[in-house]
Amino acid sequence: EINMKRLQRRFYEMASIGSTENEGVHRLALSDQDKIARDTFIDWSKQAGFLVRIDDFGNIYVRKEGTASKKPIVIGSHLDTVPKGGKYDGSLGVLAGFEILESLLEIEPLETPVEVVVFTNEEGARFPNPMLGSGAISGVFSKQHVYDMVDDDGITFESELERIGYKGDKANRLKEFEAFFELHIEQGPVLEQQGLPIGLVKGIQGLSWHTVQFTGESDHAGTTPISYRRDPMQSAAKAIMRIGEWVENLGDETLVTFGKISSLPNTINVIPSEVTFSMDIRHPNKKVLLRRIETAKTLIREVALEDDTQSLCEDLSLMLPVLFDESLIDLLQSSCQQHGIGYHEMFSGAGHDAMYMNNLGPTVMLFSPSVNGKSHCEEEETSWEDIEKSVKVLGESVVRLASS
Amino acid sequence: EINMKRLQRRFYEMASIGSTENEGVHRLALSDQDKIARDTFIDWSKQAGFLVRIDDFGNIYVRKEGTASKKPIVIGSHLDTVPKGGKYDGSLGVLAGFEILESLLEIEPLETPVEVVVFTNEEGARFPNPMLGSGAISGVFSKQHVYDMVDDDGITFESELERIGYKGDKANRLKEFEAFFELHIEQGPVLEQQGLPIGLVKGIQGLSWHTVQFTGESDHAGTTPISYRRDPMQSAAKAIMRIGEWVENLGDETLVTFGKISSLPNTINVIPSEVTFSMDIRHPNKKVLLRRIETAKTLIREVALEDDTQSLCEDLSLMLPVLFDESLIDLLQSSCQQHGIGYHEMFSGAGHDAMYMNNLGPTVMLFSPSVNGKSHCEEEETSWEDIEKSVKVLGESVVRLASS
Ligand SMILES: NC(=O)NCCC(=O)O
Ligand SMILES: NC(=O)NCCC(=O)O
């Protein structure tokens, strides 16, 4: 029923759009490469005879009608990547969904309509809120907030959406569904360690993003005695190290990551006037997450006080933990059992569009194993043997639900 | 004899070229702004009837002939600035020299020729070696090294020199001189604290520039347990902090500064694959300086070993400490005394073109006080009352030497 050859052909064609020299993909949201990926996907959809619609955030919906007037079953993910990211993150979920949609053409027409959705700016790598398209249609972000959002070059979301020709109609937004499924790579090491081909995702841990800035006094590197300095680079180093050590000593599920850093004026012989870095904090429990954020902020303020520098911790995004729909988890589980495919129940460490779709209706995810647990990098890899199992289980679940 | 109004008029016209909104100057070496500054200076020189020549590194020489065929007395400094720098750094020395040259037109012709020189890329803010023009003509850098040097955008020194029309003739280089004088702002707090208007500079401390890079493993911020990480950001923070604390605890004249920093892929939810920062180390004593560099490198290697990351410490420039010509220091001192002007004998914390001119012949510097000791920033300030004293003493010394 599932045509793995066709899926692979499409997958590698998609991976060639924005491909990097080390076999990764660099395809930032609403970039020229993203436009080509979208255009290609829509071409395929129209060739297969599906209805295509685009909403006012650039989310793309490809629909196969049902025989009854029912809420659709939706499968979705994203086509944008982080800078120098991998081929599987997002793209796998979209193209697996599309393969299932095409394979449904070959069986008895179903009562329930089925849609595949491509969400805009899932990564948050270009425009600062991740899962922006799914958050926008599920009431997390206002339209104005999304449209006014700027990238590092000060270019707005709205102007880029218009530029690449993907500013569609508000009426096209997904409003309700029977079920939302997202197949995604795990992006972590758990399934590989367990030696199991499928992760049934019970929920997603909470995450919170911040910009931290230390301000001091810019001065000449050669003429300013150490004791006269108010050096924000020393404060930044201290804060990054202390927060890192605090989290390591906690030894629990708390994660903290400092991915971006820059200094001003960024000159070899000038003590910086300011140093800015990003902070990503995660925990599966809402209360604990909020407490961890407060402790990190306190540690930052303490460093500034000690060093006589100034600190600022700006909140960028807070995504609270979610629990997925239990009956959909049961459905996936029984599809696995029917095919004799092993699975592992787990939480997701990464945010996904399913996190916000969960606000709109019954939602669930399934994971395919990541080789060496690596993701958000060019080495990202998942075996086609494992992918085949996930696509089978997902397709089976969709057909069962659509016929029930 | 010295016309302060004329000097000020020229000074503020020069400061307007590349001026920033906070009254600083942003005029990187061989940029469009640098070209305008050079063209303006050459216009003034030609209007005053001086001979102008340009060498193969873009150094500009303005010459007033003497009545005898003697080696020239040379006054010089630079017109480039650091990003968002001040108006006085470099520019003061060039324009004070030019004012002295013009004022010499109004007295009896001197036996000795006098030249004013503008050196290229003194700051090292664009092309990584500071004092590049003076180093090139004094045998520190080979012509190929200078020409092939690239800025952060990969643009070569040679192509920029050609683009702005300042690739002159090797025959025009300064080869020998009777004396080299550089008037510069102190760029530090000492003279202000001493309440003295002139610094007689006995020498320059040594300085050494490096690029430090930690490499680890890029991974997803949400799915990679802390204990699995090889995070170069943590290593960079640790190294910056440990070296900072070590130098603070030394409590001697050692200075260390981390001015630049960046990470790859520089994404909020990605553990970086590499973090790179600059290191500037200084000490007035050659042996101690070399020992300090070794210790800093050891600390960096230790951090990498502890964290299971990789470290690299690339040497960019080593400028050994210099001592200036004693008879020229005596000459400046006796000019101060003759005018009843107070002075302070001191070392320079910053490198200057005089550092390399010292290789070619008798060299000395004098400093004017920096308000609040601030430099390499837009707030850079020096009082005209203090400047007048320095220009008088320098002019007096040149005339005395030229007539002796
Ligand atoms: N899957 C994924 O990387 N989503 C982006 C949000 C996150 O960093 O968890
Ligand atoms: N004067 C000056 O800032 N020169 C550049 C070299 C240094 O950083 O000391």
Q: What is the pLDDT of residues A87-98, one digit of tens each?
A: 999 999 999 999
Tell me which residue of B120, B102, B106 sits closest to B50, measured CA to CA. B102
Model pLDDT for residues A38-55, shown as the tens digit of each residue = 999 999 999 999 999 999
* Chain B residue closest in CA terms to A85: B265
CB neighbourhood size of A367 (10 A): 30
Q: Which amino acid is at B292?
A: R
Alpha helices in B48-131 (DSSP H): 91-104
Q: How far is CA B73 from CA A154, B59, B181, in A?
A: 52, 16, 8
- Is the model's pLDDT at A343 over the cut of 90? yes
Predicted confidence (pLDDT) per residue in B319-369, tens digit: 999 999 999 999 999 999 999 999 999 999 999 999 999 999 999 999 999
Nearest ligand to the C-alpha atom of residue B206: 2
* CB contact set of B142 (below 8 Å; sequence gap of 6+): none
What average pLDDT score do residues A269-295 get?
97
Distance CA B167, CA B55 (A): 7
Residues of A in contact with B271 (CB under 8 A): 257, 259
Contacts of B145 (CB under 8 A, 6+ apart): none
Count, residues in chain B: 404
Candidate from B186, B231, B268 with C-beta closest to A124:
B268
Give the pLDDT score at A151.
96
**pLDDT-derived band of residue A404, with 50, 70 and 90 as boundaries?**
confident
Gap between the Cα atoms of B52 and A330, Å rounded? 86
3 state DSSP class of A82: coil
Considering only CB atoms, A223 lies closest to which of B83, B262, B375, namely B375
Number of neighbouring beta carbons within 10 Å of residue A21: 7
Instruction: Please give the pLDDT value at position B128.
Output: 87
Mean pLDDT (whole number) for B138-165: 97
pLDDT one-digit tens code per residue, A358-393 = 999 999 999 999 999 998 889 999 999 999 999 999
Give the pLDDT confidence score for residue B217 in this predicted structure. 93
Cα B354 to Cα B138: distance, rounded to the nearest angstrom: 11
Question: Residues A161-186: pLDDT tens digits?
Answer: 999 999 999 999 999 999 999 999 99
Model pLDDT, residue A190: 93
Nearest-5° angle of CA B300, CA B304, CA B305?
A: 115
Output the ligand 1 site: residues, CB below 6 A.
A 122-124, 130, 207, 350-352; B 221-222, 269
What's the pLDDT at B368? 98
**Radius of gyration of the CA atoms of chain A, in A:** 23
H-only helix segments in B74-226? 91-104, 132-137, 143-148, 157-163, 190-194
Query: Which site among A25, A211, A376, A382 would you substitute to test the B interface, given the most B Cβ atoms closer than 10 Å to its Cβ?
Result: A376
In this complex, is the C-beta atom of A355 within 8 Å of any C-beta atom belonging to chain B? no
Kindly report the backbone phi and psi dihedral angles of residue B24, in degrees, each rounded to the nearest multiple of 5, phi listed first: -95, -170
Mutation to probe ligand 2, out of B352, B368, B377 (largest number of atoms < 8 A from CB): B352
Joined together, the tokens standing for residue A114 give: 């089925």
Average pLDDT along chain B: 96
Nearest chain A alpha carbon to B225: A255
Task: Considering every ligand atom shown, identify the ligand nearest to the alpha carbon of residue A370 and give its number.
Answer: 1
The token pair that represents B210 in the structure block: 């490096």
Residue B92 CA to residue B25 CA, distance in Å, equals: 13
* Closest residue of chain B to A283, computed from CA coordinates: B222
Which ligand 1 atom is at minimum distance from the Cα of B268? 8
Residues from chain B that touch A265, judged by Cβ atoms under 8 A, are 82-84
CA B351 / ligand 2 centre spacing (Å)? 4
pLDDT digits (tens, 9 = 90+) for B234-248: 999 999 999 999 999
Q: Which of A226, A255, A271 sits opposite B248 (nearest CB)?
A: A226
Rounded CA-CA distance A241/A11 in Å is 41
- Residue A48, min C-alpha distance to chain B (Å): 35
Predicted pLDDT of residue B376:
87
Give the DSSP H/E element, type plus range, for residue A208: strand A206-215
Question: Pick from A261, A272, A280: which is nearest to B221 by CB?
Answer: A280
Q: Are A215 and A310 in contact (CB under 8 A)?
A: yes
Give the orientation angle of helix B91-104 with respect to helix B32-47, to 10 degrees.
10
B401 C-alpha to center of ligand 1: Å?
Answer: 72
Residues of B with CB below 8 A from A130's CB? 269
CA of B183 to the centre of ligand 1 (A): 56
Q: Do A234 and B240 touch (CB under 8 A)?
A: yes
Going from the C-alpha of A110 to that of each of A3, A44, A73, B102, B328, the distances in angstroms are: 19, 21, 11, 94, 97
pTM: 0.86
The answer to whether B267 faces chain A, any CB pair under 8 Å, is yes
- Which residues, at least 6 apart from B169, have a Cβ–Cβ distance to it below 8 Å? B53, B54, B55, B56
- Answer yes or no: is pLDDT of A334 > 90: yes
CA B68 to chain centroid? 33
pLDDT at A70 > cutoff 90: yes
- Burial of B22 per CB tally in 10 Å (0-12, 13-18, 19+): exposed
What is the reported pLDDT for A1? 81
Tell me what the mean pLDDT of segment A194-205 comes to.
Answer: 97
**pLDDT band for position A223 (50/70/90)?**
very high
Phi-psi region of A3 (alpha: psi -120 to 50; beta: other; left: phi over 0): beta
Local confidence band at A403 (pLDDT 50, 70, 90 cut-offs): confident
Name the residue of chain B whose CA is nearest to A224's CA: B188
Distance B86 CA to ligand 2 centre (A): 13
Q: Quote the CA–CA distance of B397 and B392 in Å, as a whole number.
A: 8
Nearest CA to A98 out of A46, A164, A173 is that of A46
Compare all CA atoms of chain A with the CA of B187 and give the residue at the minimum distance. A223
In the structure, which protein residues have their CB atom closer than 6 angstroms to any atom of ligand 2? A 221-222, 269; B 122-124, 130, 207, 350-352
* The ligand 1 atom nearest the CA atom of A351: 9
Q: At A234, is the pLDDT very low, low, confident or very high (cuts 50, 70, 90)?
A: very high
Distance CA A259, CA A91 (A): 23
Residue B404 has pLDDT above 90, yes or no: no
Length of chain A: 404
Contacts of residue B303 in chain A, CB cutoff 8 Å?
Answer: none
Mean pLDDT of B269-290: 97
| C-beta separation of A67 from A365 below 8 A | no
- Across the interface, whether the CB atoms of A373 and B228 are under 8 A apart is answered yes
Chain pair A-B, CB pairs under 8 angstroms: 243
Which residues of B are less than 8 Å from A280 in CB distance? 221-222, 268-269
Centre of ligand 1 to C-alpha A374, Å, is 13
pLDDT for A187 beyond 90: yes
Residues 6+ apart with CB under 8 A from B310: B214, B215, B216, B304
The type of residue at B18 is G
- Pick from A27, A79, A84, A123 the residue to mutate for probing ligand 1's pocket: most ligand atoms within 8 Å of its CB: A123
Which residues of chain B are within 8 Å of residue A82 when distances are taken between CB atoms? 265, 267, 269-270
Say yes or no: A263 contacts chain B, CB-CB below 8 A: yes
| Residues forming beta bridges with residue A279, ordered by sequence position | A210
Torsion of CA B69, B75, B81, B82, to 10 degrees: 110
Residue of A nearest to B238 (CA): A241
Q: Between B222, B255, B265, which is nearest A82 by CB? A: B265
